[in-house]
Chain A
Amino acid sequence: MTEGRHSGLGRLWRRTRGAVVVGVGGASLSACKLPTFGAYTGNTVQGNSIFHLWQGFFVASIFVGGITFALLFYAIVRYRRRSDEIPKQVHGNNPLEIFYTVVPVLIVAVLFFFTVRVENKVDAVSRHPALRVDATAYQWGWKFYYPAYHVTEQTEGPTGYPTLVLPVGETATFKLVSLDVVHGFDLPNFDFSRYALPGVTNYFDFTPQQTESFIGRCSHLCGLYHADMLFYVKVVTPAQFMSWIHSQQGR
Chain B
Amino acid sequence: MTTVHEPELLLGVEEPTEQHERREPGGFYRWVTSVDHKVIGKNYMYTALVFFFIAGLLAELMRTQLFNPNGHVVSLQTYNALVTIHGSIMLYLFAGPIAFGGFANFLVPIMIGAPDMAFPRLNNLSYWLYLFGGSTMLFGFFTASGAAAFGWTGYTPLSTATYSPGPGPDLWIASVAMVGFSGIFTAVNLVTTIFYLRAPGMTMFRMPLFVWSMLITGILILIAFPVLTAALVMLYADRHFGAHFFTVSGGGVPVMWQNLFWFFGHPEVYILALPFFGMISELVPVFSRKPIFGYKGMVFATLAIAGLSTGVWAHHMFTTGTVLLPFFSALSLLIAVPTGIKVFTWIATMWGGQVKFNTSMLFAIGFIFAFVMGGISGVMLASPPIDFYTHDTYFVVAHFHQVLVGTTVFAMLAGLYYWYPKFTGRLLHEGWGKANFWTMFVGFWVTYMPQYLLGLRGMPRWVGQYSPSFTFLNRVSTVGAYILGLGALLLLVNLYVSWRYPIEAGDNPWDGHTLEWATSSPPPAHNFHSLPPIRSRRPVWDMNHPEYADAKVPVVAGGDESAQ
A contact residues vs B (CB 8 Å cutoff): 6, 8-9, 12, 38-40, 42, 47, 49-51, 53-54, 57-58, 61, 64-65, 68-69, 71-72, 75-76, 79-93, 96-97, 100-101, 104-105, 108, 111-112, 115-116, 118-119, 122-123, 139, 180-182, 184, 186, 188-189, 191-195, 197-200, 202, 204, 215, 217-228
Contacts and interface: CB of A to CB of B under 8 A. Distances in A.
A68 B348 contact: no
Given A87-B290, A111-B379, 15 more contacts: A39-B456, A51-B389, A76-B365, A81-B355, A89-B550, A91-B295, A97-B297, A100-B340, A181-B155, A198-B254, A200-B320, A215-B458, A223-B163, A224-B80, A227-B463
23 contacts: A38-B457, A57-B380, A65-B373, A68-B372, A69-B369, A72-B372, A80-B357, A84-B354, A87-B352, A89-B291, A90-B352, A92-B297, A105-B334, A108-B333, A181-B155, A182-B155, A182-B254, A186-B393, A193-B319, A193-B392, A197-B322, A220-B460, A222-B158
B392 A115 contact: no
A232 to B, nearest CB: 12
Contacts of B326: 112, 115-116, 119
B466 A227 contact: yes
Contacts of B255: 197, 199-200
Contacts of B320: 195, 197, 200, 202
Output the residue of A53, A90, A199, A225 with the most chain B CB within 10 A.
A199
Interface residues of B, number: 83
Given A61-B379, A97-B297, A226-B463, A38 B456 contact: yes
B472 interface: no
Given A119-B385, A186-B392, A193-B319, A221 B355 contact: no
B462 A115 contact: no
A232 B290 CA distance: 60
A112 B348 contact: no
The A interface, classified by DSSP as helix, strand, loop or mixed, is mixed
A89 B290 contact: yes
A68 B464 CA distance: 37
A112 B550 CA distance: 42
Contact of A199 (B149, B163, B253, B466): B253
Contacts of B76: 224-225, 227
B248 A199 contact: yes
Give the top 8 A-B pairs by smallest Cβ distance, nearest first: A188-B458, A227-B463, A219-B392, A221-B462, A92-B294, A199-B248, A219-B460, A202-B321
B460 A184 contact: yes
